[in-house]
Amino acid sequence: MKQSAKIALGGLIAAFSVLLMFMTGLFPFATFALPAAAGILLACLVIECGYKWAFTVYAAVSLLAFFMTPDREAAILFVFFFGHYPIEKGLIERIKLKPACWAIKMAVFNVCIVSGYLVLSYLFGLNEFIAEFAEYGQYGLLIFWAVGNVVFVIYDIAITQLITAYYSSLRPKISRLFK
């Protein structure tokens, strides 16, 4: 792919990702879904342009999302996990041992999510989500964490399926546009 085509594709994906992040203000119930969708777009950029381009667009979208996204939780989730994980997924899956691969994926997820929520809590002083778990008793936060890990496994499998679908149906059409 030519350099100008990579720039154009990177710009389009960045614009769509920022738009999805901005929409968290319109759809507050999509705090997790929209950052996840914005991140999945970056996986397509890895396929078409490589890791360098994908990480560059991730950095740009993260910066813009951080300042433009009305939902701080969604912005932090994108910056700390949903933005970079679809890019790193391909690198992690180069590990041939499946248990080791999944252990690393789970570690990345848990470290990123806990770090993101700690930043959200201590740096921005947004403790509402912790208060929400108090309604569910002393194990509310633990239950949320366990459910989050199960949802992450489903999310990881969904990314794999979406990338497979991208390869089979969308990639041939996009390749013709950017030749």
**Cα angle, residue 16 at apex, residues 177 and 42 outer, rounded to 5°:** 75
* Regions of the chain with pLDDT less than 70: 126-134, 137, 177-179
Q: What span, in angstroms and rounded, lies between the C-alpha atoms of 168 and 170?
A: 6
Tokens linked to 91: 């690198």
Express each pLDDT in 90-105 by its tens digit. 999 999 999 999 999 9
Express each pLDDT in 39-59 by its tens digit. 999 998 999 899 999 999 999
Residue type, 20: L
